[in-house]
Structure 1
Amino acid sequence: MEAVSFTEIGAEQTQAAAPARDFRVTVADETGFDFRGAEYRDLYQRAKASLFQHPLWLGAVFEQLIPRRDGTACVRTVRRLSDGRLCLAWPMIKRRIGPVPFMDGVDCDVSDYNPIIVDASLDVSTLQDAIRRDRSRLPPLGLARIRRIRADQASALAPLEGIRFSPMGYHAHEAPLSPDFSSWRKEALSASFVKTLDQLRRRLAKRGELSFREERDPAAIRAAFAQMREFRKGRFEGDPLLNPLYFDFYQRVAVAGAPEGFARTFVLSLDSRPISVIFGLSDAERFMFLMIAFDPAPELKNFSVGLLTIESLIEDCIARRQSVFDLTIGDEPYKQRFGTRHQPMLAAWVGNPALTAAADAAFRGVIAWRKRKAG
């Protein structure tokens, strides 16, 4: 994919508002930015961002994870000059690669989608022009990288101008949901998969009473995370839940986000025994599935407890009238069984044209090497 002009990619946004000739902004790199404050919450509501840009999530990333990373964390902000209203926020970590200033994204290996946060009501070309006029007082941008951009969210980066994209070699997967669970199963799942799920659930129910519930009490959420960590021990190399830093991050988000329904933790139990725990982020439209763990006991080995847990959660989402079940990034085969559609994932390079071209070429080479090694 070549360097792009966002005049075309941002066409939908460009048509949403008439250009304002007197629109002026100030561009600044701010430390100590308050993601939990009213100013950012207001911008988030006006932006086409993902749940990974939610004030609670980004606040936790900046408070708990970024201080453990090399570099200086900051947020590049664009504010309307007339009243100081926040128009754009670009979280980043400032580093250097030799003599070249390097701005990295803040996914910290926990955020699967990372568009910048920009007021979607603003005209893209007007905002581009305004940023171009003011940013000259900032140091030149050597090279910046933003990983994990969904192809259908690329237009959110339109105000940055002159971006080069590299394919990351994998996809995001999501399942559209219909208003009725039975109808969704018939429309989205193969008949053989439906039959398999029904058989597994009947066989498991013979061993005890199955129940699926959301945990909302802080103590119950912590207990569910402790159980999830126990289930996952020794199963995945580099498992973040076995790292105290990341375990604490996810658990705190789960507890803090439960009252407003942003973070949801569910437990599937057989009688009173938890056999599966699943966690994700949620809004009125979308549930984003982040992690799951299930009991590895030999007597449960042939019941596909993970698949049954996902199906139970989808039923809950439909009951809440959510329209998308997002299985996020990674091309695991099981995702396709739930009737998913996919989006390519991209890395974005911003800055000096020669540096972005070199970074793009190098990144594509790494992806090609990984594919050859895996194949």
Structure 2
Amino acid sequence: MLDVTPAYLLAKTPLMFQAIERFDFGSLEYQRLFSNASASAFQHPDWLTAFYRHMAPAHGAEPLVITGRDGSGELQLLVPLVRHTKGDQNGAIEYAFLGVTDYVCPIIANGLTVGRQTSRHFRACLGNHAGLRIGPVHHSHLSEWRSLLMVEPSTLDFGAHAVRYGFPYAEWRRTNLRPHRAAALDRKARKLVQTGGLQLELVEPGDARRAMAAARDFRTGRFPADPLQTPHGLEFYTDVAANGARSGLARTYRLVSKDGPIALVFGLVDGGCFRYILLACDYGAHARSSPGLLALDRVMAAWAADGGTDFDFTIGDEPFKTGFGCVRTAMHEFRL
């Protein structure tokens, strides 16, 4: 059983910190905090609810949620963590990551300044836990973590990759995909259209389970330690895809021909940015058509047509991202 740190009023600070083992991320108070904070889509209520429902139990990890409330009890700060209870990591604490949360950041109400005293009391609330790990941290969230943890990060050996659209989109595409790549993708798309049609669909909430099951099958044997190949990973992504489609957090795109799905792309909506997370393709039937690149190209066009301004390929230094005109951003990790 997780030891829960009792709440206490911080001297000379308006916040009360508490470490708790249960928190309702679907609650109105968390929704208010999230909408008034500079967090990412990976801290959305639907993402964290699904994370603690499916991922944490499967990894033998207990929830450890740090909350900071002002004098009137209003939630002003939250850090979602887990504590491992099994194996070599027994007792170690990390952010709610477990291999699926690409960008980790504290959820801090806009306008709240985290000073040194607040930071000291935040760390006191954590207690003397060994092996606290906070990562992966995007460059844009470094200042918040520095203020809260009062330590410097290390740089990880992988980066994040994103591209900002120019307009009109067709002109931007010709420049950023480079003429030979754009032409090659267009040729392959035309062949598929001629042989069996080609259409990009947006998966509805009720179809999310079938789409994720197809994605799992397409990805079988292709990626080591793929969360989607586990029962809990499939449930997690299905949960986020279905509930996220209703709330506006997530989109699952399906590229289909007359013979069925060719590829699926799943990601999170974060303002004007689409954060791509999963790609699954029927390489057995369509390997020569570059189905992954075709699907990403079509999804990028669809996102731009919907008013999107940025396309984030998230973490990992796969070479294909350079071909889409991405800019690399360093990723970091904090340890206590």
- What TM-score do you get using the length of structure 1 for normalisation? 0.80
Deviates more, 1:107-116 or 1:178-187: 178-187
2:65 paired residue number? 75
Instruction: Compare CA radii of gyration and give the structure with the larger one.
Output: 1
2:188 paired residue number? 200
* Residue 83 of structure 2 corresponds to residue 94 of structure 1: yes
**1:44 shift after superposition:** 1.1
RMSD of Structure 2 on Structure 1 (CA): 2.3
Q: Work out which of the residue numbers 192, 208, 216 in structure 2 matches 1:221.
A: 208
Q: Work out which of the residue numbers 237, 241, 249 in structure 2 matches 1:250.
A: 237
After superposition, residues 117-156 of structure 1 pair within 5 angstroms as 117-125=107-115, 128-132=116-120, 139-140=127-128, 142-156=130-144
- What TM-score do you get using the length of structure 2 for normalisation? 0.89
Q: Which runs of 5+ in 2 are unaligned?
A: 1-10
Equivalent-residue separation in structure 1 for 2:122 and 2:244 (angstroms): 37
Q: What letter corresponds to residue 144 of structure 1 in structure 2?
A: L
1:262 paired residue number? 249
After superposition, residues 235-246 of structure 1 pair within 5 angstroms as 235-246=222-233
Gap change, CA 1:310 and 1:71, over 3 Å in 2: closer
After superposition, residues 1-375 of structure 1 pair within 5 angstroms as 23-81=13-71, 83-95=72-84, 102-125=92-115, 128-132=116-120, 139-140=127-128, 142-218=130-206, 220-298=207-285, 300-350=286-336
Equivalent-residue separation in structure 2 for 1:70 and 1:339 (angstroms): 40
Gap change, CA 1:75 and 1:217, over 3 Å in 2: closer
Gap change, CA 1:344 and 1:35, over 3 Å in 2: same
Q: Does structure 1 conserve the Cα–Cα contact (< 8 Å) formed by 2:118 and 2:148?
A: no
Q: Secondary structure at the match of 2:98?
A: coil
**1:203 shift after superposition:** 2.1
Gap change, CA 1:311 and 1:136, over 3 Å in 2: closer
Q: Secondary structure at the match of 2:247?
A: coil
Equivalent-residue separation in structure 2 for 1:206 and 1:33 (angstroms): 53
Gap change, CA 1:238 and 1:141, over 3 Å in 2: closer
2:3 paired residue number? none
Deviates more, 1:277-286 or 1:328-337: 277-286
Equivalent-residue separation in structure 2 for 1:61 and 1:124 (angstroms): 27
**1:335 shift after superposition:** 0.4
Q: Does structure 1 conserve the Cα–Cα contact (< 8 Å) formed by 2:82 and 2:96?
A: yes
Gap change, CA 1:72 and 1:283, over 3 Å in 2: closer
Gap change, CA 1:214 and 1:155, over 3 Å in 2: same
Q: What letter corresponds to residue 272 of structure 2 in structure 1?
A: E
Q: Secondary structure at the match of 2:211?
A: helix
Equivalent residues, number:
324
Equivalent-residue separation in structure 1 for 2:91 and 2:182 (angstroms): 53
Q: Does structure 1 conserve the Cα–Cα contact (< 8 Å) formed by 2:58 and 2:232?
A: no
Equivalent-residue separation in structure 1 for 2:324 and 2:112 (angstroms): 37
Identity of aligned residues (%): 31
CA displacement, residues 276-297 of structure 1 (integer Å, 9 cap, x when unaligned): 1111111331111111111123
**1:245 shift after superposition:** 1.2
Q: Secondary structure at the match of 1:32?
A: coil
Deviates more, 1:103-112 or 1:232-241: 232-241
Q: What letter corresponds to residue 199 of structure 2 in structure 1?
A: S
**1:22 shift after superposition:** 6.3
Deviates more, 1:191-200 or 1:69-78: 69-78
